[in-house]
Amino acid sequence: MPSDLEIAMESLILVFHRYASKSGRDGTLKRGDLRDLMENELSNFLTSQKDPAAVDKIMKDLDSNGDGRVDFEEFVSLVVGLSVACEQCYKLRMKELKK
C-alpha cells in the first residue's frame, strides 16, 4: 500500500500530465494549459491574486529556459513555492491556536 507521500507525488505527476497532454506535446504546458491547470487545480490561489496577469507572470517566472513552455521540473518549482507558503501559514495558525 502506498504511503501518503507516495500518493501525493503520484497525484502531482498525474495532474501535470493531464494538462500537459492537452497541448499535443506530452511533457510540457503551454500558457493556456498552465492557466487551465491553475484555474481548476489551484483556484483558491488564483482567486486570491489581485493581478489579472498573474498567470502570465507565473508562466514567465517558471519558464526558466525561455522556450515558452513549462516542463515538469519547472512546474514543480511552483508547487514547492506554494507549499512553502502554505506551510508557513499552517505554522502561524498553529501558533495562534496555542495562545
Nearest residue to 43 (alpha-carbon basis) of 25, 61, 31, 55: 55
Rounded CA separation 74/70 (Å): 6
Please write the tens of the pLDDT for every residue from 1-49.
Answer: 999 999 999 999 999 999 998 766 668 998 889 889 988 998 877 776 6
- What is the rounded radius of gyration, in angstroms, for the C-alpha atoms of the chain? 15
Rounded CA separation 3/60 (Å): 34
Domains of the chain and CATH, by start: 4-97 (1.10.238.10)
The reported pTM is 0.80
CB-based contact 35:23 (threshold 8 Å): no
